[in-house]
Amino acid sequence: MDCLFCKIANKEIESEVLFEDDYCVAFKDINPVAPTHLLVIPKKHIDGIDTINELDKEIVAHIFMIIKLLAKREGLNNGYRVISNVGADGGQSIRHLHFHLIGGKKLGWNFE
């Protein structure tokens, strides 16, 4: 399968990896919208939230524990935002489940 984030997960494509374990990888977004903008992805290919199945539940829960850890590591003590865009209307440009961890400034709330 030709998936950019699978290639990032298996190091075929370079990225700035900040965390990695058996289940997930966290790396810097190439086009950051805030001082901290990380992407946390499962190593297993899952298309998006819309295709998570029973077997993926533990991976997804694990990712949220890692997000919490990374937010702390990044010093986001004043808060942060976690986003997962889904499908065309959600603005998902890469069809491999990912969670944006965004923070380091006061974030607005603006939908077009």
The residue type found at 4 is L
Contact between 30 and ligand 5GP by CB under 6 A: the answer reads yes
* Cα 25 to Cα 90: distance, rounded to the nearest angstrom: 22
80 binds, among Zn ion, ligand 5GP, none (CB under 5 to 8 A by kind): none
Burial of 24 (C-beta count, 10 Å sphere; 0-12/13-18/19+) = buried
* Cα 56 to Cα 23: distance, rounded to the nearest angstrom: 10
Q: Which is nearer to ligand 5GP, 33 or 69 (CB)?
A: 33
Catalytic residue among 37, 45, 96, 98: 98
Q: Which is nearer to ligand 5GP, 77 or 110 (CB)?
A: 110
Contact between 27 and ligand 5GP by CB under 6 A: the answer reads yes
Does residue 73 sit in helix, strand or coil?
helix
Catalytic annotation present for 98 = yes
* β-sheet bridge partners, residue 20: 25
- By annotation, the residues acting in catalysis are 98
Q: Which residues bind ligand 5GP (CB under 6 A)?
A: 4, 15, 27-31, 39, 85, 91-94
